Structures are given as C-alpha cells and as structure tokens.
C-alpha cells in the first residue's frame, strides 16, 4: 500500500508544485527550437493535431505509468523498482530498469549542461550588446570562439552545474519546489514577452501560418513517425526523472489529471516558442530550418538588426537557461536520491558527489567540440564513422536508453504490477477511464514505442519498407 510508504526526501506541497516541477523537467532546449520547426515542416496545424494524438496514446499513458510507479515505491528509481518487483513477486532483475533510468539522466546531463553553458554565455553577450549590428560572419566567429575554447566551455559548464547542485542540495521543498515556483512562471512570462515582441515585428502572421495552417498534404508517414518520436521524448520519460518526482507526489493527487495538464503545458511552451521565433526569422529573411544553429547562430543575427533586439535577445537566452535549468534539476535528482538512500550521506553531500561526477563526465563533451573534434571512437562501425563522443552519448541516450526505458515502464505497469495495485494508485476505480489507460499501455503504447525505437535507430525504415514515401 502506497499509504504506508513515505519518502525520506519529503513531498511536494501539493498538485500544483508537482505540475510545475514535472513541466520544468519536460520543457527543455528541444521545446524552444525542435518542435516549432518540425511542426512547420510537416504540415503546421495538421502536424500539431497528429502530435497531440500521439501525446494522448504514447506520452500521457507512459507518464501516468511512470508517476504511478514512483508514487507507489516512494524511493529513488533503483530502489522503487526493487521494491515493486518484490511486491509483485517478479524477478529482481527489474531493478535494472531503475539503474538504466538513473544512468540515462546522468549521461544526458553531462552533455546537456555543456549546451546550457552556451546559453549562459550568450546571456552575457546579449547584455554586453555583442549582437548589435553583427554580421553572419561575426556571429559565426563568436560561436566558433566559444565552442573552440575548452577552457571557456569548462567555465560555463562549471557555472551551470553549480547552479543545478545548489538547488538540488536544498531538498525537495526548500530547493526544487521553491526553484520551479519561480523559474517555470518566469519561463512563461519571458515567452509571452517575446511573443509580444514578435507581434510587433511585422511578420507575426507569416509565423502563425508556418506553424498553424493545416496542410494535410504534407502529412506523410515520415511526419507521423516524427510526431510519435517527439511525443515520447518531449515529456522526459524513461530517464528516472518523472519516476522520482512521482515518489514525492501526495497520495490523493490525481495522476491522470496531473499528467494531462503537464503534457498540455509542455505543448503550450513549444507553440509559444514557435510564435516567438518564426516571425523574427521571417522578417529578417532567415532560414527557419537551421536546427540548433537557429538558436546560437541565426537568431543572434536577427536580434542584432531589430529595434530593442539586444534586450529581447538577452531575454531569449535567459529563457533558454531557465528551460535548461529546470530540466537539469530533474536529471540529477534520481542519482542524488539514490545516494542519500543507499549510502547514508546528506543531501548536500549527495548533490556534490553526483554533480562532480556529472561535471567530470561532461569534459568528454567539451573536448568533442575542439581538441577531440576529429576523434571518432567507433569509426570502425559505418553508421558511427564520423560520430564524436558527444554524438555517441546523444545517440545512446535518446535513441536507445529512453525508448527502451519507456517500453519497460509500460510493460511492468500492466504485465507485472498487480491490477489491484494500479487501480488503487491511479484512483480511477475499475472504470472505463482506467480500462482505456490499461488497454493503451498494454497494447497500443508498447507497439508505438517499438516503432519509434526501430525508426530512430535506423534498424527498420518503415517509410521505405511499406512504400509510404512521397
């Protein structure tokens, strides 16, 4: 019974605190550039509808399952899966699902913190007016100077990790909850301010058309697969973050309503980001499909040639820092919780140990952009012939660990966990709503996740296999 288990780390003050924390975890750098771009390229409003359907059948059911497991276990992901496997009379090997989640969070944060360091650097460059009147060559030079200097990258990486460690060290309510109560609303406030700025740019309508005008002719099988993949990855599933946050959730809080709210807020952030970015891109005649380069190489040019661009450019990169910060907190929390539970250390010491380990591993990513830029550890494998250490870490976590983690969460929650226990935790009774969730997680969601996994790893080209390409 979940009521008999209490987390030694404390709990959220209520449902709203959990929503803020989980939304902060889900909202990251990818929301700011990736979703708006892929939506615009795949049919605008039509893609958004497909994406929301994918959120409903993949994202929300798995999020409900992961939160449910976390709340029932009331421990770190490793110890939660150990306890729940024992409770269900299942093989103890299920604890490795928790291990994989903690490890995935650790590996992702090791390179995520480096990229977040870039955003920090750009905040100060914006404040200094560096982008004002800058040419494409000038902005490219700024970017190359940053990424090509390992000492400079190390400094920004260190600052971001210290920011993350300070919050996590203070605990659930005094640290994480207090931080997200300010950071997440600030994130929405900054987005709305940037949307207002974009509204005055003169190309707001063009940006809205790019993002929202339904063009069902652009919806291809490849676009559907893209929507499925992003629906899974955007909610921070399969990396232990949502599970450990769920372990701090009060008993009477509705998991279903909360998960739906988080998914909608995550999507809202992505749409607001698109509404802010694309009018600025179009009014300056820039390319909207520039990927990560859109943030650090294309947008600074736009801000540098617009009235008030220096101020709003600084706000934009501050927005990126806030989004990355709230995600980073959730990525390191599973490891911190495990250290406290299993090694008898204080939370402060656990945050320092986990932070230093993550910081140290991040050096590999830093060097991947300069001194080791031509070092390809797996060059003997054709698909990884030109992959740096950073590329390999990104591939390992995003394409392998997260989908497999999400799949295992789904399988455990309906095929291993007792039905009575899941009914109790979800608190929907043995109703049609519960039956729908159980059906989706039992049959539909695992198939969808397997398709995403096979597609992103390139093991099966579904588009080519079934002749679905245009």
Which residue from 224, 190, 230 is spatially nearest to 318, judged by alpha carbons? 190
| Residue 43 to residue 24: CA distance in whole angstroms | 28
**Count of CB atoms situated within 10 Å of the CB of 13:** 15
Which residue from 120, 183, 182, 180 is spatially nearest to 318, judged by alpha carbons? 120
Q: What is the pLDDT of residue 225?
A: 85
Which residues in 81-90 are b (16+ Cβ under 10 Å) and which e?
bbbbbeeeee
pLDDT one-digit tens code per residue, 120-160: 999 999 999 999 988 889 998 999 999 999 999 999 999 99
CB contact at 8 A, 378 and 392:
yes
pLDDT one-digit tens code per residue, 350-390: 999 999 999 999 999 999 999 999 999 999 999 899 999 99
Q: What is the pLDDT of residue 4?
A: 63
Q: What is the pLDDT of residue 465?
A: 58
CATH, domain range 2-465: 1.20.1740
DSSP character at residue 129: T
Helices (DSSP H) in 42-131: which residue ranges?
A: 45-54, 60-73, 77-87, 95-127
Please list the pLDDT of the chain residue by residue as tens digits (470 residues).
444 678 999 999 999 999 999 999 999 888 887 888 888 778 888 888 899 899 999 999 999 999 999 999 999 999 999 999 999 999 999 999 999 999 999 999 999 999 999 999 999 999 999 999 888 899 989 999 999 999 999 999 999 999 999 999 999 999 999 999 999 999 999 999 999 999 988 889 998 988 888 888 878 888 888 888 888 888 999 999 999 999 999 988 999 999 999 999 999 999 999 899 889 888 888 777 666 677 888 889 889 988 899 999 999 999 999 999 999 999 999 999 999 999 989 999 999 999 999 999 999 999 999 999 999 999 999 989 999 999 999 999 988 999 999 999 999 999 999 999 999 999 887 789 999 999 999 999 999 999 888 888 877 776 565 554 44
């Amino acid at each position: 019974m979940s009521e008999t288990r209490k987390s030694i780390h404390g709990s959220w003050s209520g449902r709203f605190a959990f929503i803020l924390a989980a939304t902060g975890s889900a909202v990251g750098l990818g929301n700011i550039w990736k979703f708006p771009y892929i939506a615009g390229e795949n049919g605008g409003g039509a893609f958004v509808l497909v994406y929301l359907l994918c959120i409903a059948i993949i994202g929300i059911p798995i999020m409900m399952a992961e939160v449910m497991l976390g709340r029932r276990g009331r421990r770190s992901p490793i110890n939660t899966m150990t306890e729940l496997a024992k409770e269900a009379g299942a093989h103890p090997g299920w604890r490795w699902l928790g291990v994989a989640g903690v490890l995935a969070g650790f590996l992702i944060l090791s390179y995520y913190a480096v990229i977040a360091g870039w955003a920090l650097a750009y905040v100060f460059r914006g404040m200094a007016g560096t982008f004002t009147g800058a040419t494409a060559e000038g902005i490219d030079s700024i970017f190359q100077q940053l990424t090509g200097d390992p000492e400079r990258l190390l400094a920004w990486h260190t600052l971001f990790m210290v920011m993350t460690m300070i919050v996590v060290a203070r605990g659930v309510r005094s640290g994480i909850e207090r931080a997200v109560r300010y950071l997440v609303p600030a994130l929405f406030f900054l987005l709305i301010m940037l949307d207002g700025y974009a509204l005055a740019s003169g190309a707001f309508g063009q940006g809205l058309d790019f993002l929202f005008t339904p063009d069902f002719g652009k919806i291809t099988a490849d676009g559907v697969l893209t929507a499925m993949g992003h629906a899974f990855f955007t909610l921070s599933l399969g990396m232990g973050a949502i599970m450990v946050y769920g372990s701090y959730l009060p008993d009477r809080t509705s998991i279903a309503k909360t998960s739906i709210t988080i998914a909608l807020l995550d999507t809202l952030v992505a749409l607001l980001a698109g509404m802010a970015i694309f009018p600025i891109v179009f009014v300056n005649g820039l390319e909207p499909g520039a990927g990560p380069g859109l943030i650090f190489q294309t947008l600074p040019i736009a801000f540098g040639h617009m009235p008030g661009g220096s101020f709003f450019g600084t706000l934009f990169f501050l927005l990126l820092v806030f989004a990355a910060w709230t995600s980073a907190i959730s990525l390191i929390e599973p490891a911190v919780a495990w250290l406290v539970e299993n090694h008898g250390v204080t939370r402060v010491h656990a945050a320092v140990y986990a932070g230093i380990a993550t910081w140290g591993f991040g050096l590999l990513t830093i060097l991947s952009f300069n001194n080791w830029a031509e070092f390809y550890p797996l060059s003997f494998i054709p698909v990884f012939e030109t992959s740096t250490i950073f590329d390999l870490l990104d591939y390992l976590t995003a394409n392998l660990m997260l989908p497999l983690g999400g799949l295992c969460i789904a399988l455990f929650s309906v095929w291993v966990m007792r039905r009575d226990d899941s009914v109790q935790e979800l608190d929907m009774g043995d109703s049609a709503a519960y039956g729908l969730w159980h059906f989706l997680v039992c049959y539909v969601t695992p198939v969808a996740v397997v398709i995403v996994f096979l597609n992103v790893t390139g093991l099966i080209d579904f588009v080519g296999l079934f002749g679905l390409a245009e």
